[in-house]
Structure 1
């Protein structure tokens, strides 16, 4: 099927609706007290362009203060948002990846761990333009970008840690096959992750001979 690009678009639309922004807008406009003019100034910052929440977090305090030109209370609001913005480490592996036969199941195991920065739990989404409280959610997706195939999809709720398995079927033809793993947020722009991986699909007859 050709559902991959459509599914990813739907996830991106969910982010845009929650934050009240278009994809072309600066991700920095999710932050409190930010204007388009300030976002532009950040993007043109001498030395290093500040385009994402993570870019802003990595700045030295005095440099950030000078760039933003905000009051202490406004800077505190910015800090609160940045502390709650999802910062998630992700690792993955194809289980028994050396023994994948054509037409058989492939299992991808994904490990997720959130940096809570001293917090004990994940609060509601920070969304200035959204009319009600919303809990953060995620999707894990495996796709074949060449054929636009959506091969596996799973909804994930993540507090601190999670281990998730995604199953999909190897193609009937053998050889090295390229896939993409997506980790998509439903609420924030700029925290999605994307990884490419390959699986060497072997002739099922070879495994029968070994048996």
Structure 2
């Protein structure tokens, strides 16, 4: 887009962004804007919503544009995007959202252009290189000034968008316990949406305390002025009645403290050593007792094998 001075973004009666969005169009300047303002065209959206014939008449008779200049303006208007968004928030596998639930946000962002293209480089004659068009999806609470979810959205790479949407939908359907037929059907529908100019945005956040939350979904473009969109999203969180955290990590059993296994092994080794020591002492006592009994009965103690061989030789 053309370099737009900050002073041009001063709010006017019909637009919060002032005349800045008009300066994205070729051949527009302050003099042209003063002439157009007399016809009560207050915003770029009003200008875009006009019929082509009415717009051409306005530019030629009021703005003093030539036929070629009017065509330049129409070419850029055809490239400017218009977006819509459909947002849903919910706990997977449950009807409502309870405190502490892991809430899944699913949004389909759809982009349309007058020229029928999904991918297009914005008109930026003063930019040093080709400028790619990107969008930012924000789910925010204006009252607390908190952003609950943010994600970058790009319409430049369709193949990557198809892969990402297919994987996300497949994982969601499997998590809901759907069979292969239902999963494949949902994946095919997602692929068709992507190819028709939509992008899937998915994210998660943990549900806050019980209450009604009036959130705002923003779609912010980094390449065009006057093309941003925002819609209201209401989220109702009720008091927790389910056990555990739905959608989170399952609770595991008690975890042994560090070194507990080693202490048990050491205790077992000490027990084995004590047992062997006691057993050896008992065995020695039995031998001594047997010797005493043999002497008392007049019997000689048994000799080793070496002693037996020496006696035979003698």
- Range class of TM-score, shorter chain: 0.7 to 0.9
In the alignment, is residue 93 of structure 1 matched against residue 88 of structure 2? yes
Aligned partners of 1:154, 1:186: CA distance in 2, in Å? Answer: 13
Deviations along 1:23-65, one digit per CA (max 9) or x if unpaired, are 324111110011112123323314xx2411x322221333212
Q: What SS does the corresponding residue of 2:215 show, helix, strand or coil?
A: strand
Aligned partners of 1:84, 1:202: CA distance in 2, in Å? Answer: 45
**Which residue in 1 is equivalent to 2:29?**
35
**Which residue in 1 is equivalent to 2:69?**
74
Where relative contact order (Cα < 8 A, 6+ residues apart) is larger, the structure is 1
1:208, CA displacement in angstroms? 3.5
**Which residue in 2 is equivalent to 1:207?**
242
In the alignment, is residue 65 of structure 1 matched against residue 56 of structure 2? yes
Query: 1:38-49 counterparts in 2 under 5 A?
Result: 38-46=32-40, 49=41
1:121, CA displacement in angstroms? 4.6
Q: What SS does the corresponding residue of 2:132 show, helix, strand or coil?
A: coil
Checking the alignment, whether the CA contact within 8 Å between 1:170 and 1:201 is kept in structure 2 is: yes
**Which residue in 2 is equivalent to 1:192?**
228
1:90/1:43 Cα in 2 relative to 1: closer, same or farther (>3 Å)? farther
1:67, CA displacement in angstroms? 1.6
When structure 1 is superposed on structure 2, of 119-128 and 173-182 the one drifting more is: 119-128
Aligned partners of 1:157, 1:29: CA distance in 2, in Å? Answer: 24
Aligned partners of 1:117, 1:85: CA distance in 2, in Å? Answer: 8
* Greater strand content: 1
1:98, CA displacement in angstroms? 4.4
Deviations along 1:111-150, one digit per CA (max 9) or x if unpaired, are 1222243544522111233222110001101111111112
Unaligned runs of 5+ in 2: 11-17, 157-196, 245-314
Aligned partners of 2:231, 2:152: CA distance in 1, in Å? Answer: 18
Match 2:43 to one of 43, 51, 63: 51
**Which residue in 1 is equivalent to 2:287?**
none
Checking the alignment, whether the CA contact within 8 Å between 2:80 and 2:113 is kept in structure 1 is: no
1:19, CA displacement in angstroms? 4.4
Aligned partners of 1:42, 1:105: CA distance in 2, in Å? Answer: 51
Checking the alignment, whether the CA contact within 8 Å between 1:19 and 1:187 is kept in structure 2 is: no
In the alignment, is residue 136 of structure 1 matched against residue 136 of structure 2? no
Q: What SS does the corresponding residue of 2:235 show, helix, strand or coil?
A: strand
Q: What SS does the corresponding residue of 2:242 show, helix, strand or coil?
A: helix
Q: What SS does the corresponding residue of 1:124 show, helix, strand or coil?
A: coil
Q: What SS does the corresponding residue of 2:133 show, helix, strand or coil?
A: coil
Aligned partners of 1:198, 1:161: CA distance in 2, in Å? Answer: 23
Checking the alignment, whether the CA contact within 8 Å between 1:29 and 1:39 is kept in structure 2 is: no
**Which residue in 1 is equivalent to 2:78?**
83
**Which residue in 2 is equivalent to 1:10?**
none
In the alignment, is residue 149 of structure 1 matched against residue 132 of structure 2? no
Aligned partners of 1:56, 1:191: CA distance in 2, in Å? Answer: 13
> TM-score with structure 1 length normalisation?
0.79
Checking the alignment, whether the CA contact within 8 Å between 1:182 and 1:192 is kept in structure 2 is: yes
**Which residue in 1 is equivalent to 2:255?**
none
